[in-house]
Amino acid sequence: MEILVCVKRVPTVGGRITLTGDGLGVDTRMSGFTISPHEECAVEEAVRITERLGGTVSVLTLGPESAIEQLRGALALGAGRAVLLETDGREYGPIATATAIASEIGSRAAAEPGYDLALFGNEASDTGDYQVGIRVAHLLGWPVVTGIKSLDVSADGVVARREYRGVEEAYSLPLPAVVTVKEGLNLPRYPSLPGRLRAKRAPVERVEIKDVSLPEGLRKTRLRVPEGGTHQATVLGEGVAAVPELVRVLDELGILS
């Protein structure tokens, strides 16, 4: 079983988002980086499948050279091959990203045994894009199912399950196929020390990507960071002197009644 897992280098969740001066990108100079929880589960699931059925897990990302850090993290978890579709750091939209990934999948199939299964996180944790896995499947002519929380893979195909409005849905897909998975599919393992050492020495295949143009008629005008909620605190006093005011506030809230 040859499995490809596509991941994305994203800023660590919880930090404050600021934009670049031109308003067209996110300023990540002070950010830490990781991959999304959905993608962590995709890597773990791929490793489990190959542990059971045999085969190889390849992990792929599109981004700058610094994204090798995320690829090595996946190698430490048990992936056997890493591919960087290397860019100059400019942000790719979902259309260009899917085109680059589908091209790489097609190139591998032409040169050697291709992938049987491509796994994606259901959406990116930074931009919330839900499109890439679906677009890749469309370009390749492969079946696709999204939002999966349970996956059974055999040589005959895939049975993928998800819950929608309290009802479980099950889909049977022939291989090759594309599946996008959600956090909760499994509990990802922690990388072992031998795994980290192996990942540090492992080669990373690089494919240079140059074209970042948008299709005709599409262009990015600007990004906007939504305003957060405001919070206000009132100092009631200091020490014992604050007690009467505290009692008054608690009484107004109905806590003392």
Q: Which of 3.40.50.300, 3.65.10.10, 3.40.1640.10, 3.40.50.620 is the CATH number of 2-208? A: 3.40.50.620
Per-residue pLDDT 10s for the chain (257 aa) are 899 999 988 877 666 677 777 877 777 776 778 888 899 999 999 999 999 999 999 999 998 898 999 999 999 999 999 999 998 877 788 888 899 999 999 988 887 778 999 999 988 777 767 889 999 999 999 999 999 999 999 988 999 999 888 889 999 999 999 999 999 889 998 888 888 998 999 999 998 886 655 555 566 677 777 776 667 778 888 888 888 888 888 888 888 76
Q: Which are the contacts of 70, defined by CB distance < 8 A and separation ≥ 6?
A: 7, 9, 33, 34, 35, 61
> Residue 15: helix, strand or coil by DSSP?
coil
Q: Residue 50: its pLDDT value, please?
A: 94
In angstroms, the CA 105 to CA 102 distance is 5
Q: Which ranges in the chain belong to alpha helices (H)?
A: 37-53, 68-76, 94-111, 132-140, 193-201, 243-252
How many CA within 13 A on the CB side of residue 64? 8
> What pTM value is reported for the model?
0.78
Q: How far is CA 98 from the centre of its chain?
A: 14
Each residue's pLDDT tens digit, 77-100: 999 999 999 988 777 888 888 999
- Among 70, 52, 51, which residue's Cα sits nearest to residue 61? 70
